[in-house]
Amino acid sequence: MSFISVFPFVWMVIESTNSSADILAGKMSIGDQFMVNWHNAFTQTNLIGDFWNSLKIATEVTVLSIIVASLAAYGFQIYRSRGKNWIYSIFIASMMIPFSVLMIPLYRMVSKLGLVNTAWAVVLPGIMSVFLVFFFHQSLETFPIDTIESARIDGASEIRIFWSVVLPQLRSTFAAAAIYSFMGAWNNYMWPLIVLQSDDQKTLPLLISGLSANTNFSIDYGVIMILIIISTIPIFLIFLFLQKYFVQGMTGANKG
């Protein structure tokens, strides 16, 4: 299973050293075209700009979605109110609605707000993640309520309680949520394809897709391999640094 998981990446690294002709011919050995492909990736595409757009959008979505989802889950789990469970059930049931159903009304909404062809057209819809609310809610189910009540008696505000009492105990959950959110935002393709129309606003997945679907010129598969490898680096790094917390966070959520 490990070999099956790693093989596509190894294949990309090997093919990034070959020319398009060698790749199409099925060559599976290391070539001498890596520096040529690397140079073309930076000179013939808007790699730096699109990489920055992807990083900016993914970071904003990750930070904002975690803040919103954790606070929403905190409210659903900690506060007592009539009808709370019904509202939460309806909220969770909305996960069954496919995103394709929401595309047209969502596009009309961002269009009326004048956000089409801006990063906010991608960021704002990505902030509200029902799954992340559910994920944090599951972790909070095992959180000792007495600790929160004691903090309230001591006069701490709800924000202070959340920041100083709850957040430190859910570090692993936040790390797991950050990985999940960042991966989703970084790899997001369909919605940015719809709302990001100018080349200077496009993200890395759109750049790779555009090169792969190029019908005016021959497709440079060596460059595409370089771009795909570069696109995996942020995901690899964030998982490398947070993998311990990711496993703990997923385990904690499942126990809840």
pLDDT of res. 30: 92
Overall average pLDDT of the 87-102 stretch? 89
Reported as a single tens digit per residue, the pLDDT across 175-232 is 889 999 999 999 999 999 999 989 899 999 999 998 887 656 678 899 999 999 999 9
Q: Which residue has the higher pLDDT, 105 or 149?
A: 105
Residue among 61, 58, 51, 55 nearest 204 (CA): 51
- pLDDT range class, residue 26, cuts 50, 70, 90: confident
Overall average pLDDT of the 151-167 stretch? 87
- pLDDT range class, residue 249, cuts 50, 70, 90: low
Q: Which residues contact 119 (CB under 8 A, 6 or more apart)?
A: 53, 56, 57, 60, 201
Range picked from 4-13, 15-24, 233-242, 247-256 for highest mean pLDDT: 15-24
pLDDT at residue 248 is higher than 50: yes
Segment among 65-69, 161-165, 188-192 with least mean pLDDT: 161-165
pLDDT of res. 254: 47
Q: Which residues contact 197 (CB under 8 A, 6 or more apart)?
A: 116, 117
Cα–Cα dist 128/117, whole Å: 20
Instruction: Spell out the domains of the chain, with CATH numbers in brackets.
Output: 2-255 (1.10.3720.10)
Residue among 107, 91, 97, 96 nearest 190 (CA): 107
Q: Which residues contact 171 (CB under 8 A, 6 or more apart)?
A: 245
- pLDDT range class, residue 7, cuts 50, 70, 90: confident
Q: Which residues contact 116 (CB under 8 A, 6 or more apart)?
A: 107, 110, 195, 197
SS3 state at 170: coil
Q: Which residue has the higher pLDDT, 101 or 239?
A: 101
Reported as a single tens digit per residue, the pLDDT across 113-157 is 999 999 999 999 999 899 999 999 998 888 888 888 888 888 888
| DSSP-H helix ranges across 79-143 | 84-93, 99-112, 120-127, 130-140
Cα–Cα dist 10/229, whole Å: 10
The first and second tokens of residue 244, run together, are 């311990």
8 Å CB contact between 173 and 136: yes
The first and second tokens of residue 59, run together, are 């970071």
Measured CA to CA in angstroms, residue 154 lies from 9, 157, 217 at distances of 54, 9, 69
Which pTM was predicted?
Answer: 0.87
pLDDT of res. 136: 93
pLDDT of res. 135: 92
pLDDT of res. 256: 46
pLDDT of res. 142: 83
